[in-house]
Amino acid sequence: MVELLGVRKRYGEVVAVDGVDLGLKEGEFFTLLGPSGCGKTTTLRLVAGFEAPDAGEVRIGGERVNALPPERRPIGMVFQNYALFPNMTVFGNVAFPLRLKGLPEREVRRKVGTLLEMVHLVGLEGRYPKELSGGQQQRVALARALAREPKVLLLDEPLSALDAKIREELRGELKRLQRETGLTTLYVTHDQEEALALSDRIAVMREGRVEHLGTPREIYEEPATPFVAAFVGTGVLVPGEAREGLFHRDRPWPVRVKGEGPGFLLLRPERLRLEEGGFLEGTVVLATYLGSLVRLEVEVGGLVLKVDLPPGRVPALGQRVRLGLPEEAPFVREER
């Protein structure tokens, strides 16, 4: 549905997007994930048409759109700061794209009604944006983005300006709406949890390039690079070597890994346990209470490993503990 082929974009000295290849399937929820400055927003803006690529090709629905301005692309978009028209009511905002299309007023009313029902805003038609909460404003923005019946929905960090609770609520609704409408969706976020929860596929970006493209599960469980491993989820990267299927750090560890040569072992906190006679021994240096669990930090020979425990008997700070390793764990190496 959306394809990017070797797309590049630079602003003066800064290369924002450095040769990106992507393909979104019809009906897919696709996320661009990465820290700020990684090029994800520029990539989205290239799809929207606010920027023109310096090289490469952008296609929507099989059609090359490099030279098309945004208003001629079949897209809808939701912005981080809602971007509602402050001089128009809720109804006016949602009706705006429909009126531009020249629909008869009766049709406009009907459609706006349906859209506002979809985002649960019936009854607020007459309000102005400044009279709405952040969550409500973003629902209006969503309804407005859908009004034109776009082929692709673009979402630029739509939840990041909202409070945690509303963010989660709206996240669920976004997913539901996307599933109901079956709309191809390109989503940009720096929040890996959001990305994992929502996406069919994720592209993790770094310095203008796609570092790893895969399903949430693949990204989490088999990160392609140390960067992806560190950015997605929590974990500690233990430098070492893979040799004959086992991880070595001074000595062989009883952890099966894939690959061969120097690299990092990714130890996620939920995969480690406290265990009598565990392979590693260390000292508890920090315990953080997180409600549903307690995260211990244990110093082992110059490394600080993280271990999640059920809240209950928690070892005291300074106590010596032994850690049991998973039988198998991701092993990542620097490419290039």
Partner 1 sequence: MGQRGVGWLLALPGLAVLGGVVGLPLLYALFLSLTGYSFLRPSYDWVGPARYQEAFRDPYFLHALGLTALYVAVTVGLTLVLALVLAVLLQQNLPWKGFHYFVVSLPMLIAPVGVGLIWKMILHPELGILSYLFGKVDFFGDARYALFSLALVDVWQQVSFAALVLLAGLRSLPKEPLEAAYVDGATPWQAFLRVTLPLLRPVLVVLLILQTLAEVRTYDLVYVLTRGGPGSATDLVSYYIYRKAFLGLDLSGASAMGYLLLLLTLALVAAYYRLLTRG
User: Tokens for 81?
Assistant: 């700061």
- Rounded to a whole number of angstroms, the minimum distance from the CB of residue 81 to partner 1 is 6
Asked whether the beta carbons of 192 and 233 are under 8 A apart, the reply is yes
Residue 69, interface with partner 1 (CB under 8 A)?
yes
| Other Cβ atoms closer than 10 A to 38 | 24
- Rounded to a whole number of angstroms, the minimum distance from the CB of residue 79 to partner 1 is 4
Residue 279, interface with partner 1 (CB under 8 A)?
no
| Other Cβ atoms closer than 10 A to 283 | 14
- Rounded to a whole number of angstroms, the minimum distance from the CB of residue 156 to partner 1 is 9
- Beta-carbon contacts of 181 under 8 Å, excluding residues fewer than 6 positions away, are 146
Supply the DSSP symbol for 169. H
Closer residue to partner 1, CB minimum distance, 83 or 314: 83
Q: How far is CA 151 from CA 68, 111, 146, 257, in A?
A: 15, 17, 9, 43
Residue 14, interface with partner 1 (CB under 8 A)?
no
User: Tokens for 319?
Assistant: 């106590």
Closer residue to partner 1, CB minimum distance, 68 or 309: 68
- Rounded to a whole number of angstroms, the minimum distance from the CB of residue 150 to partner 1 is 8
Helical axes 105-118 vs 134-147, angle rounded to 10°:
130
Closer residue to partner 1, CB minimum distance, 75 or 183: 75
Closer residue to partner 1, CB minimum distance, 159 or 242: 159
Identified binder of partner 1 from the candidate list 52, 55, 100, 304, rule CB under 8 A: 100
Closer residue to partner 1, CB minimum distance, 144 or 201: 144
- Rounded to a whole number of angstroms, the minimum distance from the CB of residue 43 to partner 1 is 16
E strands, the chain, in order: 2-11, 14-24, 29-33, 55-60, 63-64, 75-78, 152-156, 184-189, 201-206, 209-214, 236-243, 246-249, 251-256, 261-267, 273-274, 280-289, 294-300, 303-309, 320-324, 331-332
| Residues of this chain, 129-188, that bind partner 1 according to CB under 8 A | 141, 144-145, 147-148, 154
- Beta-carbon contacts of 326 under 8 Å, excluding residues fewer than 6 positions away, are 255, 267, 271, 272
Residue 112, interface with partner 1 (CB under 8 A)?
no
Identified binder of partner 1 from the candidate list 62, 67, 87, 318, rule CB under 8 A: 87
Closest listed residue to residue 300, CA positions, set 236, 243, 215, 246 = 236
Q: Per-residue contact track with partner 1, 20 to 59, x per CB under 8 A?
A: ----------------------------xxx---------
Residue 96, interface with partner 1 (CB under 8 A)?
yes
Contacts to partner 1 by CB under 8 A: 48-50, 69-71, 75-77, 79-87, 96-97, 100-101, 141, 144-145, 147-148, 154
